[in-house]
Amino acid sequence: MTLYLQNARYIDPDSLAITSTHLAVTDGPDGGVQPIDTIPTAGERGKDDRVLDCRDRFVTRAFGCGHHHIYSSLCRGMPAPPRTPTNFPEILEYVWWRVDARLDLDMVEASAMAAALQMARRGVTFCIDHHASPLHVLGSLETIAEAFERVGIGHLLCHESSDRNGPRAAEQSLAEHKAYLDSGRPGLIGLHASFTVGDELLSKSIDLASRYDTGLHIHVAEDVADQDHCEKTYGKRVAQRLRDMGALASPKTILGHCVHCDGEERQIIRDAGVWVVSNVESNQNNNVGLTDYDWLDNIMLGTDGMHNDMLRSAKAHHLCCSTTGGIGYDEVYRRFRNVHNYLRQFPGIGDGANNLVILDYDTPTELRPDNFYGHFLFGFEALHVQTVIAQGQVIIEDRRSTQVDEEEVLAYAREQGLRLWEALSS
């Protein structure tokens, strides 16, 4: 199937060249996008081909999220924790570990559908998610994958293995990864963080990643407490521990945050060629500190479960990194787009050039290649996303899903949200 975008103003995501042209978008994980001079006539087009008028619209590559927790979707407006947390370990204990322990597969499905829908409407067509439902582990990844696919979102999933819920939950998490990867799905091996993962679980996870030729996905030095625990327990810092155990062997490995890494750890991370995801809004929300990441090339952006809007993440990243060390607009954009470079390691995963957003961008100033970054950071908003194409298929048209009944998705999420809140109150 070919989708023809007529009269588009195409912004090349790499060169930033802006071309008034028609585009031919082919579907599937290996499809692409091609500028063309003329749209084939109705007689020349295939029966499933479609022409979309893009007059006065900008078209560019859709967005990707490097680190999410879709399991937080039902938490908006939930009951307050039993005590107000005063530091990061207490935020985990009083908020997130109470939530994830109460999630069952219906809640996970509702969370994934709601997050996927909200991502799609914001032009995010690919999500790298880090999932936790420690008491309902088995089948959770397939549940999320199917929910994402119903909405039309690409995915690279993992489950958060940890020793914090005892040996049975840890074993189930390993088994879930194995079953998911055995089914042919692409995925990572998820771990919570050094301070809740003992050597045995870490070692088993590394073996599993190696066996499936994939990477780990783990939070690293998000708060200084992770470093304190590692130094006290293992006599070394977190990145040193991970390197010494063999956890940094794959360039597919993703380290979340790395806010509190010292100079030697930064060198270790650079040398390993692994990837780091910045989530500054979450860091601010948890009051764990900020860093500027000017020491690293392999840096991408995520939401850490705060929301589903990658344009918002880019803006926040710019504001925070400006205060911690100064950052160029071009570097923010590079980090925003780096998720595609990371995902290139997974051929056919569905993050190709045929993932596009059509922007209804009513700018009061001229948009040109030489001032693109200013528009990217101070102009482009989710509200400009009019139509979204994922792997060559229109999944959002005129701001509405073409794939699912939005009211139904949200009603189901609210219903499951009430179940979760009730469980939190009891």
Q: Where do contacts with Zn ion occur on this chain (CB under 5 A)?
A: 256, 304
Residue with tokens 């990145």: 239
- For Zn ion, the closer of residues 92 and 145 by Cβ is 92
Using DSSP, state whether 168 is helix, strand or coil.
helix
- Smallest distance, Zn ion to C-beta of residue 193, A: 9
Query: Which lies closer to Zn ion via its Cβ, residue 128 or residue 174?
Result: 128
CB of 258 to Zn ion, least distance (A): 12
State the Cα–Cα distance between residues 204 and 24, nearest whole angstrom: 46
Closer Cβ to Zn ion, 69 or 102, answer by number: 69
Minimum gap (Å) between residue 22 Cβ and Zn ion: 41
Considering the complex, state which of residue 96 and residue 333 has its C-beta at the smaller distance from Zn ion: 96
- 157 has which bridge partners? 187
Q: What is the nearest approach in angstroms of Zn ion to the Cβ of residue 46?
A: 43
Bridge partners, 257 (sequence order): 220
Instruction: Please report how close the Cβ of residue 188 comes to Zn ion at its closest, in angstroms.
Output: 13
Smallest distance from the beta carbon of 256 to Zn ion, in angstroms?
5
Question: How far apart are alpha carbons 237 and 170 in whole angstroms?
Answer: 23
Nearer Cβ to Zn ion (282/298):
282
The CA-CA-CA angle for residues 339, 345, 350, to 5°, reads 70
Q: Is residue 305 classed exposed, middle or buried when 0-12, 13-18 and 19+ CB atoms within 10 A define those classes?
A: buried
Residue with the closest Cβ to Zn ion?
304
Quote the CA–CA distance of 172 and 158 in Å, as a whole number.
13
Contact indicator for 98, 81 with CB cutoff of 8 Å: yes
Comparison of 121 and 257: residue with beta carbon closer to Zn ion = 257
Cβ within 8 Å of residue 407, ≥6 positions away: none
Query: What does the chain come to in residues?
Result: 426
Minimum CB distance to Zn ion, residue 282 (Å):
7
Looking at the Cβ atoms of 176 and 222, the one nearer to Zn ion is 222
Q: Rounded CA gap, 297 and 405, in Å?
A: 40
